[in-house]
Amino acid sequence: MIQYRYQGSGFADWRAALEQYTREQLLDMFFQLLRIRRVEESIESRYHEDEMKTPIHLVIGQEASCVGVCGVLTRNDLVYCGHRTHGVYLAKGGDLKAMMSECYCRANGCAGSKGGSMHLLDKNVGMAGASAIVAGIVPIATGAALTAKMRDETWVSVVFFGDAATEEGAMWESLNFAALKRLPVIYICENNYFSVYSPLSNRQPAAVDIFKKAESFGLNSHVVDGTNVLAVREAMTTAIGRARSGEGPSFIETRAYRWRGHGGTGDDSASGYRDPDEVTLWQQYCPVELFSTFLTENKILDASRRQAMETHIDGEISAAFEFAINSAMPTERDLYAHVYSD
Amino acid sequence: MPWADALIESQSPRLTPPLKGRALSYIDALNEALMLALDLDPNVFILGQGVNDPSAMFGVTRQLEQRFGSQRVFDTPLSEEGLTGICVGAAMTGLRPVYCHNRPDFLLLAFNQMVNHASKVHYMDNGQTNVPLVMWAAIGRGWGSGSQHSQAIQGLLLTVPGLKIVMPSTPYDAKGLMLAAIADNNPVLIFEHRWLMKQTGIVPGGIYNVPIGQGIYRRRGDDITIVGSSHTLQLAMQAVDSIRHSYRQQCISADIIDLRTIKPLDKEMILASVRKTGRVLIVDTGWAMGGVCAEIGCLIAENCPGSLRFPVRRIGLPDVPTPAGYTLEQFYYPTAEKIAAVVIEMCA
Ligand SMILES: Cc1ncc(C[n+]2csc(CCOP(=O)(O)OP(=O)(O)O)c2C)c(N)n1
């Protein structure tokens, strides 16, 4: 039985929006989407080798939210996320080689092999924090916004989390405080309808949309098609404008579907928790390919440009794997480093 | 609560000040530490339920909002976990929050942020960020505080890598440890004890630090080592003094070590003293089982078994929740008399 259907309307209504962007911006959005997809596929294809000894949470099917959001951020803006880190890290400009090294548990991984795939960080580009405790990062991102407000910093704090995070108390404690203090923080709820095997219907009353709850806390709150990078970006543009001009926090619920299992590789819907047809249905709304088609129809992308991108990404990915695999392992001394800060 | 004030007044040990100088109350010493820190560093801010209300966190945060403004000293919603996380995020981005709670019991709602996040961020990101966060709370005792308003939870946190835990026992230490905690680049928990708060002691003006991770000898002696912190350590000093002043007992001379910090522990000081005296009694305001007493007992068993002339003894709380009524309470808490009896038994 199909429980969760795509509710968006594709790219049909977005032709006018193209005017707002340069050709380069549009191509870059597509490039980011494609790159994240290919990185995820390459991790997936080599995971069985059991050399990446780290739990992975692939973002295949959900790429548009992190690309749409990070597209309007500057390097100085701070981004935080939960366990599903890969897309956000890459979209914010995180170093791919350091990410692969982290997945391969190498000393030069982006977290020195102390974080793993759920804690991809790159402070240089504002990839500032991640937590594997559902909703644990939400107050932390809110605290970063408090710093921005107290010190009159120009950056905005943005935090990604799933639908299940909105069942945790700390989530609402954070929204309450952010609204109270009008903090420059943007909450991105990536609603993929599942928490591991548990459908949203087991966890939240159907009649109340997540973004509505956030709205009732006093936040500027919207829901958007999470498969449509332009829709996400538009909502984010409004939110960031508000944050930068002191109008306070926003909440954006992006709805898209997780094509793979919660963790690891492949689709696990045959296990019975969701209908395999539901997955197939959502695959018709591919954030990468539908955008590709849209750009092609509008003469922004063509086959040779796309091929050039594919080739570039392939090369980058091979180099990153190569780099990671040939990097040194951490030593016993590393174990004891950074328990306390000086 | 006037009864609480009366209680603290009646129970607070009158110490001979260790130095000459200005006398200050425990509360004023803490208040002065916060004033100095706010004045010194614009990144310091103070928050907590009621920090700007008439009772001002027992007086510890008195006048701070008036002097430093409501941006830097503010009341909070009742969101212990959320606000702790907000402090972590603020600390990670350059601020130095001091989050005050009336009671450690309320910190139990914040364990996710303290244990899963604050203490581990620096490690998990391989040293890229740090969390200079101070969490302050005052342990209660008596007059019906009961199971949920008197817990000394330091034992629960002792096992968490990356945290520091300090437990002052004098006005001098309260100020110096507060300043040291704010200056530290790690999450530091300060557990005060309500019964210490009516003390007056010699407290120098201006900024000074009591070093975190170092204990101090409060007495020197040869017969026994007594090690502990906070209010129970003060009880132990009273106990030893009572033995010394009693006609019937022989003079017992004790090394009394005030740990000041229970994590990281000043292991060297403890072990050196035990190797000398051969007898050790460990006292703590928390439960004996699995807590500070247990850890120090094990440390000694591992490191100086050959020096012991008497088995290691500990005095903490029994493995029982705190009762509310005063009759049950008298069976529950350590007292100077109970401690003296154990010391006499050990040195007989
Ligand atoms: C506090 C907490 N409870 C449970 C878990 C186990 N867990 C890890 S991921 C996850 C699913 C969370 O779903 P959601 O927040 O919607 O994010 P998604 O995985 O769908 O991206 C769960 C239950 C956890 N990590 N933390």
Enter the pTM of the model.
0.94
| Chain A residue numbers touching B123 (CB-CB < 8 A) | 114, 338-339
- B52 at the A interface (CB within 8 A)? no
pLDDT band at B10 (very low <50, low <70, confident <90, very high): very low
> Are residues A174 and B82, on separate chains, in Cβ contact within 8 Å?
yes
CATH architecture of B216-347: 3-Layer(aba) Sandwich (3.40)
Q: For the segment A26-62, what is each residue's pLDDT rounded down to a tens digit?
A: 999 999 999 999 999 999 999 999 999 999 999 999 9
Which chain A residues contact residue B186 at CB under 8 A?
340-341
Task: Decide if pLDDT at B16 tops 50.
Answer: no
Out of A133, A177, A180, closest to residue B112 by CB: A133
pLDDT, tens digit, for every residue of B249-291?
667 899 999 999 999 999 999 999 999 999 999 999 999 999 9
Give backbone dihedrals phi and psi of B16, rounded to 5 degrees, phi first.
-75, 125
A141 touches chain B (CB under 8 A): yes
Q: For chain B, give every domain's residue range.
A: 20-202, 216-347
pLDDT value of residue B249: 60
Q: Is B297 helix (H, G, I), strand (E, B) or coil?
A: helix
Question: What is the share, in percent, of chain A residues with pLDDT greater than 70?
Answer: 100
Given the residues B101, B117, B122, B149, the one annotated as active site:
B149
Determine, for residues A177 and B86 on separate chains, whether the beta-carbon distance falls below 8 Å. Answer: yes
Which of A317-331, B238-252, B309-323 has the lowest average pLDDT?
A: B238-252
β pairing state of B280-287 and B224-228: parallel
Summarize the confidence of residues A179-204 as an average pLDDT.
Answer: 97
B301-312 burial, b for 16+ CB within 10 Å, e for fewer? eeebeeebeeeb
Tokens in use for B281? Answer: 């009694």
Q: According to the model, what pLDDT value does residue B7 have?
A: 40
Q: Do domains B20-202 and B216-347 have the same CATH topology?
A: yes
What is the percent of chain B where pLDDT is above 90?
A: 88
Residues of A in contact with B77 (CB under 8 A): 173, 176-177, 180
Look up residue A28 and give its amino acid: D
The span from the CA of B87 to the CA of B104, in Å, is 17
Cα A62 off chain centre by? 7
CA nearest A159: which of A176, A137, A179, A178? Answer: A137
Mean pLDDT, range A164-187, rounded to an integer? 98
CATH of B20-202, picked from 3.40.50.970, 3.30.70.270, 3.30.70.100, 1.20.1630.10, is 3.40.50.970
Q: Is B149 a catalytic residue?
A: yes
Inter-chain CB proximity A143 and B161 less than 8 Å? no
Neighboring chain A residues of B183 at a CB cutoff of 8 Å: none
Q: Is some CB atom of chain A closer than 8 A to the CB atom of B206?
A: no
The torsion of the CA quartet B73, B74, B78, B83, rounded to 10 degrees, works out to -60
Question: Who contacts B327 (Cβ-Cβ below 8 Å, separation ≥6)?
Answer: none
Query: Is B162 touching A (CB cutoff 8 A)?
Result: yes
Contact B85 A136 (CB under 8 A): yes
Does residue B127 belong to the interface with chain A, where contact is any CB pair within 8 Å? yes
* Contact yes or no for B226/B255 (Cβ under 8 A): yes
- 10 Å CB burial of residue B10 (0-12, 13-18, 19+) is exposed
Residues counted in chain B = 348
Contact flag B123-A338 (C-beta cutoff 8 Å): yes
Q: Higher pLDDT residue, B60 or B21? A: B60
Name the amino acid, one letter, at A160: F
Give φ, ψ of B125 to 5 degrees.
-105, 20
Residue of B339, B249, B325, B209 whose CA lies nearest to B285: B339
Report the pLDDT averaged over residues B296-324: 96
Q: Round to whole Å and give the CA distance between A39 and B311.
A: 62
Q: Starting at the edge strand that comes first in sequence, how are the strands of the sheet with B96-101 ordered?
A: B73-74, B44-48, B96-101, B134-139, B188-193, B164-166, B261-263
Beta bridge partners of A81: A130
- Encode pLDDT of A12-28 as tens digits: 999 999 999 999 999 99
Query: Could you count the other beta carbons within 10 Å of the beta carbon of residue A145?
Result: 32
Residues 6+ apart with CB under 8 A from A264: A47, A55, A56
* pLDDT classification of B348: cutoffs 50, 70, 90: confident
Query: Which residue is closest to B188 within chain A, CA to CA?
Result: A340
CB burial of B105-139 (b: ≥16 within 10 Å; e: otherwise) equals: bbbebbbbbbbbbbbbbbbbbbbbbbbbbbbbbbb
- If you average pLDDT over every residue of chain A, what do you get? 97
d(CA B194, CA A148): 36
- Tokens 């968006």 belong to residue: A8
CA dist., res. A60 & res. A255, Å (int): 13
Q: What's the pLDDT score for residue B36?
A: 96
Identify the band that residue B66 occupies on the pLDDT scale cut at 50, 70 and 90. Answer: very high
Helix ranges (DSSP H) in chain A:
23-46, 63-70, 86-91, 96-103, 137-150, 169-181, 200-203, 210-216, 229-244, 276-283, 289-297, 303-325, 332-335
Q: Is the pLDDT of residue B231 over 50?
A: yes
What residue spans define the domains of chain A? 16-323
Number of alpha carbons in the 13 Å side-chain half-sphere of residue A338: 20
Q: What is the ipTM of this complex?
A: 0.94
Q: What tokens does A39 get?
A: 């990185």
Integer Cα distance of A263 and B162 in angstroms: 29
**Beta bridge partner(s), residue A224:** A254
At residue B13, does pLDDT exceed 60? no
Assigned superfamily of A16-323: Thiamin diphosphate (ThDP)-binding fold, Pyr/PP domains (3.40.50.970)
Nearest CA in chain A to B92: A144
The closest of B231, B233, B175, B194 to B6, measured between CA atoms, is B194
Residues with CB under 6 Å of ligand 1 are A 83-84, 132-134, 161-165, 192, 194-196, 262
Closest Cα of chain A to B61: distance in Å? 20
B220: helix, strand or coil: coil
- Chain A touched by B89 (CB under 8 Å): yes
Q: For chain A, say whether B123 makes contact (Cβ under 8 Å).
A: yes
Chain A residues closer than 8 Å to B72 by CB? 150
Residues 6+ apart with CB under 8 A from B276: B222, B225, B255
Helices (H), A92-188: 96-103, 137-150, 169-181
Please give the span between the terminal C-alpha atoms of chain A, in angstroms, as a whole number: 57
Cβ of B79 and A173 within 8 Å?
yes
Q: What is the DSSP string of B103-120?
A: -GGGGGGGHIIIIIIITT
Residue B161 to residue A339, Cβ atoms within 8 A: yes
Atom of ligand 1 nearest to the CA of A84: 21
CA-nearest residue to A114 within chain B is B124
For the sheet with B254-258, list strands across it: B216-219, B254-258, B224-228, B280-287, B313-317
- pLDDT score recorded for residue B2: 40
* Residues facing B44 on adjacent strands: B96
Q: Tell me the C-alpha distance between A81 and A118, whole Å.
A: 9
Residue B297 has pLDDT above 90, yes or no: yes
Q: A149 vs chain B: nearest CA distance in angstroms?
A: 10
- Sequence-distant (≥ 6) Cβ neighbours of residue A204 within 8 angstroms: A163, A166, A167, A210
d(CA B229, CA B283): 7
Query: How confident is residue B8, by pLDDT bands cut at 50, 70 and 90?
Result: very low
The bridge status of strand B188-193 relative to strand B164-166 is parallel
CA A134 / ligand 1 centre spacing (Å): 5
Q: Are A81 and A157 in contact (CB under 8 A)?
A: no
Mean pLDDT score, B166-194: 96
The pLDDT value recorded for residue A87 is 98
Could you read off the pLDDT of A114-143 as tens digits, one per residue? 999 999 999 999 999 999 999 999 999 999
CA dist B82 and B88 (Å) reads 10
